[in-house]
């Protein structure tokens, strides 16, 4: 049985991933800030796997099929405490799905310092701190895999989401560095993957700050959270360095360092909404 940790497991992609992994026989540790929604997800997992073992925030048993741990990904001490709880009560981790993230839809002039710090702490610094704390337990796994759930905007920043795009670019760069750092770690190396979803039909856009009331994206054709979860499962089974889930966004990202003006024009046309490419 593989043992997985899913961050941001209380909703959206994280919740879907936890449910899919549990249905495939994984033992799953659920991590997020708030306990109540995690317990609701745990209840579904427990019923689907016929598990009667209770899970607790900082107590539990290694024999339990699934486990809940609350953690504030903006707080280094909270991350360290969560890692300690996992080591003591959940055991060796084979797969980490680093999915927790928050959005911020705002022009540069609208940015609030506290919100900006929170977005960077959650999306970029949190995964780095979590990797540091979980490395000892990952070294014990026979086939450890770490998956960063980034975004297509990490490879091609978009207007109105400069801060969010920058955090995802940082996450992508972090994954590139970690692939080499961890290639010789543990029994046979720790595989590090970066997954770049595009628009996904979750409550993400409704929950993010939008001080200037910028228009929300057209969700027609958006992937479902279970579509992304399926890609995560596939990456655990056969890791690869990076995967983007929309080829047009992959193309924009590939073009940007070589033909930035062309990429700008293509993006402005794709987004609409009055955005213009520079001359």
Distance from first CA to last CA of the chain, Å, rounded?
Answer: 56
Q: Count the alpha carbons within 13 Å of 13 in the hemisphere toward its beta carbon.
A: 30
Q: Helix 247-255 and helix 260-271: axis angle, to 10°?
A: 140
- Active-site hit among 26, 67, 104, 164: 164
Residue 67 a catalytic site member: no
Decide if 210 contacts 106 (C-beta within 8 A).
yes
The secondary structure of 12-42 as a DSSP string is: HHHHHHHHHHHHTT-EEEEEES-HHHHHHHH
Give one word for 12, left, alpha or beta, with left for phi > 0 and alpha for psi -120 to 50: left
242: helix, strand or coil: strand
- Residues serving a catalytic function are 164
């Amino acid at each position: 049985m593989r043992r997985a940790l899913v961050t941001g497991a209380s909703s959206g992609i994280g919740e879907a991933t936890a449910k899919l992994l549990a249905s495939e026989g994984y033992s799953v540790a659920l991590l997020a800030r708030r306990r109540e929604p995690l317990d609701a997800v745990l209840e579904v997992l427990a019923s689907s796997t016929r598990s009667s073992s209770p899970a607790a925030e900082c107590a539990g048993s290694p024999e339990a099929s699934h486990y809940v741990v609350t953690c504030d990904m903006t707080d280094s001490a909270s991350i360290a405490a969560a890692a300690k709880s996992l080591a003591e009560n959940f055991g060796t981790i084979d797969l980490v799905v680093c999915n927790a993230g928050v959005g911020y839809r705002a022009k540069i002039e609208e940015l609030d310092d506290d919100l900006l710090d929170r977005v960077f702490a959650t999306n970029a610094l949190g995964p780095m701190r979590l990797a540091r704390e979980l490395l000892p337990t990952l070294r014990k796994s026979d086939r450890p895999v770490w998956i960063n759930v980034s975004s297509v905007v990490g490879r091609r920043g978009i207007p109105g989401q400069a801060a969010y795009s920058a955090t995802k670019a940082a996450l992508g760069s972090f994954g590139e560095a970690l692939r080499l750092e961890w290639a010789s770690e543990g029994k046979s190396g720790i595989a590090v993957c970066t997954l770049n979803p595009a628009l996904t039909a979750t409550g993400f856009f409704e929950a993010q700050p939008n001080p200037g009331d910028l228009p929300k994206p057209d969700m027609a054709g958006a992937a479902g959270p279970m579509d992304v979860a399926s890609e995560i499962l596939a990456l655990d089974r056969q890791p690869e360095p990076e995967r983007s889930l929309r080829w047009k966004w992959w193309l924009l990202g590939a073009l940007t360092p070589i033909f930035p003006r062309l990429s700008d024009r293509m993006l402005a046309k794709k987004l609409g909404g009055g955005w213009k490419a520079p001359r």
